[in-house]
Amino acid sequence: MIAQEQTLTIAILAGEDSGDQLGAELIIALRRHYPKACFVGIGGARMQAQGFRSWYDIRELSLFGLSEVIRHLPRLLRLRKSLVARLLQSRPAVVIGIDAPDFNLGVERRLKDAGLTTVHYVSPSVWAWREKRAAKIGRSAHRVLCLFPMEPPIYARHGIDARFVGHPLADRFPLVSDRAGAREALGLPQDVPVLALLPGSRLSELALLGRPFVDAASRISAALPGLRIVIPAANQQIHARLEALLAKGSRDEAAPLLLDGHAHQAMLAADVVLLASGTATLEAMLAKRPMVVGYRVSPLSYRVARWLRMLKTDIYALPNILARSRDPAIELPVPELMQEACTAENLAKATLALFRDSERRARVVALFEQLHLELRGGLDGDAGTRAACAIAELLDQQHVDAQRP
């Protein structure tokens, strides 16, 4: 076993804000194993607050969309070359890439081939895309740390060492949600129906989803007397776009409450959530809120993905994927309305059906409570601690192997 007193250099590569959060929690947990460890690499303010030394600005990797990546490709290639050279020179005990697979997996593979120990934290969605990606990821990382329990068996089929460590979001949501407290904080009455509306956190999503979602909310409001609608905006650009969409809608119903952020609070305050497919569906599940999910991509993108057989699933919402992975025969808890089916009429109809069926909502909440516990890995869930233990175990085993004659 590696002695706690031994000074180790541990490299962590985080490419965006969510990775910075995970990295900070991981550093705290790793210090319990290695109090004198030195942490270096790429990280943001949260990681640096834990004593992390960032060699590069995390914003250099915070790119979205193919066109933006292509535009910055020469700079990214230079950064990757410089980073790999620096890591090969410093020879850290382990290099941990957090998410950002397009950047990190390439770096990890070069380092692994050069004899460094590598870990990839946050598995790409191998259950949704081509499963053979699991084998490629294994060529980059000695161990993969997974956030979802159905992921390690996929890697096992390809002989890859993968561990389920739990989802950090499951640690941040309470097992029993406080609807009354959330409504009080938002100034909402306790005795009226509330709908949380989340049509996406990017302008590209609002361009396709904003109008059908807002029109659906108007239809739902007309059918449910006293309904209050809460719409959290991810940023100022989204806020302005939502304001413009709402200004063109009907003014007969009560004006929606448009928030700056506070998505978790909006979900907790709601009876039902109508939202775009994505990570927000997991957050709504952890808030124990029945939901309806809709999504559209450009018709061309959808046809290309289907033609290339890139998608290996016909279900998209994370709560449905988690429910189906534990019971293939289960009735999917979340209505999904994708592509041509994602219309204001269909979204309103499915949402109203949930509002009007209290028994169905109760069944969904009970299932979400079970899934929450599973994502926590039990009542004492702590994804950061389990991730640190999986990394320490790998380092200790490699230390033992190195001592053998």
187 backbone φψ class: left, alpha, beta (φ>0; ψ -120 to 50): left
Mean pLDDT of 312-325: 85
What CATH number does the domain located at 9-166+381-403 have? 3.40.50.2000
What pLDDT was estimated at residue 32?
Answer: 94
**Cα–Cα dist 178/325, whole Å:** 28
The residues near 366 (Cβ < 8 Å, ≥ 6 apart) are none
The tokens 């120990």 sit on which residue?
117
Checking if the pLDDT of 307 tops 60, the result is no
* Mean predicted lDDT score pLDDT of the chain: 87
| 45 vs 7, residue with greater confidence | 45
What pLDDT was estimated at residue 75?
Answer: 74
What pLDDT was estimated at residue 259?
Answer: 93
Residues 89-131: tens digit of each pLDDT: 999 999 999 988 888 999 999 999 999 999 999 998 766 556 6
Mean pLDDT of 139-167: 93
146 is written with which tokens? 């997974």
Residues 52-95: tens digit of each pLDDT: 999 988 877 654 444 445 666 677 788 889 999 999 999 999 99
Residues 19-53: tens digit of each pLDDT: 899 999 999 999 999 999 999 999 999 999 999 99
**Cα–Cα dist 41/19, whole Å:** 13
Q: Which fold has domain 179-375?
A: Rossmann fold (3.40.50)
Q: Delimit the CATH 3.40.50.2000 region(s) of the chain.
A: 9-166+381-403, 179-375
What pLDDT was estimated at residue 278?
Answer: 85
pLDDT category, 309, cuts 50, 70, 90? low
What pLDDT was estimated at residue 294?
Answer: 94
Q: Are 19 and 46 a contacting pair, CB within 8 Å?
A: no
* 42 phi, psi to nearest 5 deg: -125, 125
